[in-house]
Amino acid sequence: GAGVSQSPRYKVAKRGQDVALRCDPISGHVSLFWYQQALGQGPEFLTYFQNEAQLDKSGLPSDRFFAERPEGSVSTLKIQRTQQEDSAVYLCASSPNTVQELQFFGPGTRLTVL
């Protein structure tokens, strides 16, 4: 049984570049969450999907951040015109529909913006 996978594991971007981060949730998991983890901090909620519907995007820090899950499985978090303050680990988590709060995390993508 594969867990949540994320790619790339590491991404270095120059300031102003666009980046796309991918999340493959556990098969059959309906709910998908994105979190941002700054160095030395706990993860902070960004956005939430139930199937393909984005039900909550209240944690996205700016309109440069965009997430999608078009077929209700794989999700992509896109950051446009990256800034240095975007440097963080981006974590994806998925959960079964029956117990949404039971979240399984992927290894994260470490984004460094130079």
Half-sphere CA count of 64, side-chain side, radius 13 A: 14
Distance of alpha carbon 36 from alpha carbon 59, whole angstroms: 9
Query: Under the criterion CB under 8 A, does residue 50 sit at the interface with another protein?
Result: yes
CA distances in angstroms from 23 to 6, 15, 40, 104, 105, listed in the order given = 5, 23, 23, 12, 10
CB atoms within 10 A of CB 86: 20
In the complex with another protein, the residue whose CB is nearer, 102 or 114, is 102
Region for residue 41 given its phi and psi (left: phi exceeds 0; alpha: psi -120 to 50; beta: otherwise): beta
In the complex with another protein, the residue whose CB is nearer, 17 or 45, is 45
Q: How far is the CB of 16 from another protein (least distance, A)?
A: 27
In the complex with another protein, the residue whose CB is nearer, 50 or 80, is 50
Among residues 15, 41, 61, 112, which is the contact residue for another protein, using CB under 8 A? 41
Q: How far is the CB of 12 from another protein (least distance, A)?
A: 16
| Per-residue DSSP letter, 84 | G
In the complex with another protein, the residue whose CB is nearer, 64 or 110, is 110
Query: Under the criterion CB under 8 A, does residue 56 sit at the interface with another protein?
Result: yes
Query: Where along the sequence are the contacts to another protein (CB under 8 A)?
Result: 4, 31, 33, 35, 40-45, 48, 50, 55-56, 59, 91, 93, 95, 99-108
